[in-house]
Structure 1
Amino acid sequence: MERPGRHRLRLGRVSEPGRLYLLTSVTRERVPVFEDFHLARSVIAQLRLTEQEEAARSLAWVVMPDHIHWLIELKAVTLSVLMRRFKSRSSCALYKTGKLEGRLWQAGYHDRALRREEDVQAIARYIVCNPLRAGLVQRLGDYPHWDAVWL
C-alpha cells in the first residue's frame, strides 16, 4: 500500500546514464540487520553484482547496521530499476540464509544527483567514515563493510 504523498518523492527524479548519484536505503523499521557479519557480506555481494552486470559503477559504499550509502555512476538502467533489483536480490539472498523474516528494506530510497563541480572524493570519504561518526569503530580500517575506488 502506498503511503500518502510518497509519489511526490519521485517527482523530478531523473535517471541520467553517466551521472553520479548518492543513494541511501534503510532497513524496515531501522532494524540493525547488518550487525550480522554474514548478512552484511550478502548485501555487499549484491552491490558488486550490479557492477558486474554493468548497471552501475560503484565508487564508494558503506553498509551500516540499519542502512546503506552507495555512491554510483549510473550505467545502463534507471535508478528505480537499479534499486528495485538490488533490494529484491539482497532480500532474496538474506531470506535464503534463514536469518531473516519479513521485509528487509523500507519502501523507497533517497537519491541525490551530484553536481559536476562537487568533490566526489570528499563525498566518498564522508560515506566511508560513517562507522567512525556512529562510534562503531575507532579506526576506519577496523570496519569491514565499506569500499571506495580511491582507497
Structure 2
Amino acid sequence: MPELPRGKCLRNGRFSESGRIYLVTSVTHNREQVFSDWTLGRLVVNEFRAVQTLGAENSLAWVVMPDHIHWLLELTGGELTRVLQGVKSRSARAINRSRGTHRQVWQRGFHDRALRREDDLLMMARYIVANPLRAGLAKRIGDYPLWDAIWL
C-alpha cells in the first residue's frame, strides 16, 4: 500500500471537543516561504481574529512563521477541522487576491495536539512566540510582527 502524505494521515480519527485546548501546526504548500512577506502574514492574522469574533475559538497564542503557523486555541464551538479549514481557505483566497495568483497556499491537513488544563499553557505560549528567535528571524520577540499571546 502506498504511503500517504503525512498531512492526509493526520486527519484520520480526529475528534474535536468544545472547551478543549489544542496546539495546531499547519505548513504552506511545498514549505514555500509565503509569510516572509509580512503583509501576507497579516492576512492570516486577520483570519485568526475573524474566527475568534465568530465565537468558534479563543486564541491563546499564535505565531506566523515564513512557511508555517503555530496556534494555541481553545475550541468554543464547532469542529477543529472546520475552524482550520475556514482559516486556511479564507487566508488563501486573500493571499491569492493580494498576489494576483490562483495558487495553492497551504498543505492539506494539519497537525494538532489536545492539551490538558494542567499542562503549562503559559510555557507553551512562550515556546510558540519564541519560534522566530530560535529560527534567527529576530533578536527579540517584540521585533517580530506576526505573533500574539493573551499572557504576554
Q: Hey, what's the Cα distance between the residues in 2 that align with 1:4 and 1:107?
A: 12
Match of 1:14 in 2: 15
Moved over 4 A (4+): 5-8
Q: Distance in 1 between matches of 2:32 and 2:100?
A: 13
Find the counterpart in structure 1 of residue 40 from structure 2: 39
1:59 corresponds to: 60
Question: What's the CA shift string for 1:63-120, capped at 9, x where partnerless?
Answer: 0000000000001110111111111100111111125441000010000000222100
Hey, what's the Cα distance between the residues in 2 that align with 1:79 and 1:140? 28
Aligned position for 2:82: 81
Unmatched segments (≥5 aa) in structure 2: none
Q: CA RMSD in A?
A: 1.5
Q: Which moved more, 1:27-36 or 1:91-100?
A: 91-100
Which residue of structure 2 aligns with residue 145 of structure 1? 146
Aligned to 2:127: 126
Cα shift at 1:5: 7.0
Please name the residue that 2:4 is paired with: 4
Which blocks of at least 5 consecutive residues in structure 1 are unaligned?
Answer: none
Tell me: CA distance 1:10–1:102, structure 2 relative to 1, closer, same or farther (3 Å): same
Q: Structure 1 length normalisation: TM-score?
A: 0.93
Closer, same or farther: CA 146–4 of 1 in aligned 2, 3 Å: same
Pair 1:24 & 2:25 matched:
yes
